[in-house]
Amino acid sequence: MGFNGIDGSLSQPGIIPWQYVTVYFALALIFAIYISRKNSTLSRFKTVDYVYTGISAAFMIVWNFFVGPFLDKFVPAGAASFIGFGGVGEFMILLILAGLVRKMGIGMLGWAVYDIMADVYSYGFGGEPLYLIYKMLCFGIIIDIWIGITRGMPFGVGSRKNIKASDENGVASKNSTSSFVSSKINMTKTMPVIAGIVMGIPWAIAGPLFFTGFFAPLLYGGIVDWQAIIFSMYASIPSFVLFGIIGSFMAARVSRVIG
Amino acid sequence: MYDLFDTIISWLVLIFGVGAPLFIIFRAIGIKGFREITVYSKYNTFLYRTNPVIKIIMTITIMMVVTTSIWWIGAILTAAVLSLYITLENGKRKLYIGSLFIISTLVGSIWGYAPFVTFSTLNTVFPHFVPDVIWTWPSYFAVLGYQHTLTLQALEYSFQISFRSTAIMASALILVMTNTPTQILRTLHKFRVPDSIILSLMVAMRTVSFVLQYLDESIKIQMMRGLGSKHSKFLKPIFYFVAALQGLVPTIIHIMRGGKDTGISVDTRGFKATKKRSYVEENSIDHLDYYVLVVIVMLVIMDVTINIMGFGRVIPYN
């Protein structure tokens, strides 16, 4: 037993070398800061942003400890690697938070606050600060980069003009109804769909890849089985994309109502 | 004839595994019950006077002991921590709800593991065991990922690993029930957590109970409007759930709206206007905390002794 329940074994067979992980984290952070500087989403949090973060963390606690585990009971184990309600719910609630705050760093802040809350309520601070780093830099940063790329309009809310469809045409034609003019797509309807897909895929990949491939062996000597990792990566993509789209629509709705 | 009987019993067992925890959660505990075991209420016994730092250390120690020792240590610790609930305000009720919560977690996780444990896993847990087959599932249960047979050993294994988290859960809830959010967060301040994050955490802790309360209200309103009233009573839990899902977005919007006001009122009171926070009441460590520390040290010593005696962690994690 090492420090605070961390085994700290970096030589487990099959583990991703820690140098790669560190370099990836550094590059992701630099890219997130670069893109949000360029598109000016890098601004200070206001007090109300912290309040929103706290409220979202409360929802995630309720979801993850009281609702999610019991929803999971309905999922047969054969399908359990395809959908985990706990993780999907966290994703959706964070999307709603991102829709409300729309600044660089909200994904990471949301994860950080929720992680500490989860420790107070159930996990008891074991393995910290590794879980904090894992959640913030593997998942939170995805939302931050997306906010940066979309210039602070992650779900199309905040923009009034319709955009010309060029590269999003494929997605647009599937989801827009016939009433739309063919060369224009309705931003408020298609952006959530795009956001759900673009964020859902890396979100689904990051979990198995970084946790089973790096943090699990580092924390408690978990066994690294690359076949299992690759399978659960593919298996969880559909559910994360689906619930990402639903969550994005919820986010768009909530942020339109609250503003 | 036998096939039909077989199928019916198998489905009954399956429904029990899914339904029993849900029944306990929704009927016996209810959202109100959850609120009671996750919210601070004023009272004055030794657990309320113990420093929150000590309680966090206690939870971490329990976690370390449980994960490094044999399963029945976890079971004993769960029972011990739960029995402390009786000293809390409205103790009997809290003990009752806490126990139900732990039992539902146990039943849920036993049935969540037992049918799926593979033979090879069991072989590493109980080397050279002879499987005692209790039940043979119909062949189509393989679609659900079930193993072909349910063995006594699989049940035993699931029962043992289910105790991994119960003691930690029970003791983490003590912290939440016996300290105000302010006290807990002041503790975090000692660990150099920035003020703005502490504000978020404070809001989060206060909001957890609101979320439960508003969801409860929204479900009740949906039921009052007649959701599922035309269907049989047995389907009620399902409609309960439908109502919860329908109430989710309105609840989020309602609470987030309130968040705006909270933000404004925190700002007008000069949040972060000065670099340092000041406190009216100090959190100090007194002799009571030393007694608890002694208990913690004894737990660690017990853990070491038990490991030397050969009762360390024998069950592999997956």
Q: Whole-angstrom Cα distance, residue B70 to residue B285? A: 33
Nearest CA in chain B to A119: B172
What H or E segment, with its residue span, contains residue B155?
A: helix B152-178
Residues of B in contact with A100 (CB under 8 A): 256
pLDDT the model gives residue A37: 86
Nearest to B74 by CA among B98, B106, B46, B107: B106
Residue B318 pLDDT exceeds 60: no
CB nearest to B256's CB, from A100, A117, A122: A100
> Is there a contact between B90 and B41 (Cβ–Cβ < 8 Å)?
yes
Instruction: Tell me which of A4, A46, A51 to substitute to probe the interface with B (most B C-beta atoms closer than 10 Å).
Output: A51
d(CA B21, CA B109): 9
Cα pseudo-dihedral A116, A119, A122, A124, rounded to 10: -160
Distance from CA of B75 to the nearest CA of A (A): 17
Please report residues of B whose CB lies closer than 8 A to that of A47. 196, 199, 263, 266-267, 271-272
B68, B203, B317 member nearest A51 (Cβ): B203
pLDDT in tens, A5-27: 666 667 777 788 888 888 999 99
Beta bridge partners of A164: A184
Q: What is the least distance, in Å, from the CA of A125 to any CA of chain B?
A: 7
Per-residue pLDDT at A163: 39
pLDDT confidence bin for B86, thresholds 50/70/90:
very high
pLDDT digits (tens, 9 = 90+) for B171-186: 888 888 888 877 877 7
C-beta atoms of A57 and B201 within 8 A: yes
pLDDT of residue B96: 92
pLDDT at A161: 40
Q: Hey, are the CB atoms on A59 and B252 less than 8 Å from each other?
A: yes
- Which of B18, B145, B206 comes nearest A78 by C-beta? B145
Q: HSE of A171 in the Cβ direction (CA atoms, 13 Å)?
A: 18
CB within 8 Å: A54 and B256: no
CA distance A195 to A145: 11
Count of A–B CB contacts within 8 Å? 173
Is residue B153 within 8 Å of residue B131, measured between CB atoms?
Answer: yes
* Block residue for tokens 């339109």: A256
Q: Which residues pair with B136 in a beta bridge?
A: B149
Please list the residues that pair with B94 across neighbouring strands. none
Closest-approach residue (CA) in chain A for B59: A124
Q: Give me the residue from A51, A74, A220 closest to B263, CB to CB.
A: A51
Give me the amino acid identity at B34.
Answer: F
The answer on pLDDT for A168 being more than 50 is: no
Q: Is the pLDDT of residue B291 over 50?
A: yes
Q: Is residue A1 part of a domain?
A: no
* Cα nearest neighbour of B245 on chain A: A67
Find chain A residues with C-beta within 8 A of B23's C-beta: none
Among all residues of chain A, which has the CA nearest to that of B173?
A: A121
| Beta bridge mates, B69 | B312
- pLDDT for res A241: 92
Cβ distance A51 to B202 under 8 Å? Answer: no
pLDDT of residue A166: 38
Cβ separation of A254 and B253 shorter than 8 Å?
yes
Nearest C-alpha of chain B: how many angstroms from A164? 31
Alpha-carbon gap: B215 to the closest alpha carbon of chain A (Å): 10
Residue B80's CB: how many other CB atoms inside 10 A? 13
Q: Give residue A12's identity as a one-letter amino acid code.
A: Q
Distance CA B283, CA A139 (A): 36
User: Do the chains contact at B200 and A109, CB–CB below 8 Å?
Assistant: yes
Distance CA B293, CA B54 (A): 7
- Give the model's pLDDT for residue B246: 83
Does the pLDDT of residue B307 top 50, yes or no?
Answer: yes
Which residue in the set B197, B210, B262 is minimally distant from A112, CB to CB? B197
How far apart are alpha carbons B168 and B177 in whole angstroms? 14
Nearest CA-CA distance, residue A165 and chain B, Å: 30
| Cα A19 from Cα A83, distance rounded (Å) | 31
Name the helix (H) or strand (E) containing B261: helix B236-268
Contact A73 B202 (CB under 8 A): no
Q: Least CA distance to A223: which residue of chain B?
A: B318
Answer whether B212 sits within 8 Å of A73, measured CB to CB: no
A177 three-state secondary structure: coil
Chain B nearest-CA residue for A44: B196
pLDDT at position A69 is 67
On average, the pLDDT of chain A sits at 78
> For the segment A39-84, what is each residue's pLDDT rounded down to a tens digit?
877 788 888 899 999 999 999 888 887 777 666 666 655 566 677 7
Up-side HSE of residue A54: CA atoms within 13 Å toward CB?
A: 29
Look at residue A9 and tell me if it is in a domain: no
SS3 content of chain B, % helix, strand, coil (to 5): 75, 5, 25
- What is the rounded average pLDDT for all residues in chain B? 81
A80 Cα to chain B: minimum distance (Å): 9
- Find the domain containing A39 and state its range: 21-258
Distance from CA of A55 to the nearest CA of B (A): 5
Point out the residue among B175, B257, B263 whose CB comes nearest to the CB of A47.
B263
Domain count within chain A: 1
The pLDDT score that the predictor gives to residue B6 is: 79
User: Which range among A49-58, B92-101, B201-210 shows the weakest confidence by mean pLDDT?
Assistant: B201-210
- Give the count of alpha carbons within 13 A of B260, CB side only: 11
> Which of the pair, B134 or A173, is modelled with greater confidence?
B134
Query: What is residue B173's predicted lDDT score, i.e. its pLDDT?
Result: 87
Residues of chain A with C-beta less than 8 angstroms from the C-beta of B203: 50-51, 53-55, 58
Q: Output DSSP code: residue A105.
A: T
**pLDDT of A174 higher than 80:** no
Q: Which residues in chain B touch residue A112, judged by CB atoms under 8 angstroms apart? A: 197
B277: confidence class by pLDDT, cuts 50, 70, 90: low
The reply to whether residue A121 touches residue B172, judged by beta carbons under 8 angstroms, is: yes
Q: What's the one-letter identity of residue B85?
A: Y
Q: Is the model's pLDDT at A156 over the cut of 60?
A: yes
Comparing B307 with B177, the larger pLDDT belongs to: B177
Optimal mutation site among A6, A62, A96, A119, interface B, most CBs of chain B within 10 A:
A62
Domain extents in chain B: 1-179+284-318, 180-273
Q: How confident is the model at residue B112 (pLDDT cuts 50, 70, 90)?
A: confident
CB contact under 8 A, B197 and A74: no
> Hey, are the CB atoms on A120 and B257 less than 8 Å from each other?
no
Mean pLDDT of B18-43: 79
Render pLDDT for A76-102 as a digit per residue (tens, 0 to 9).
555 666 777 778 888 999 999 998 888
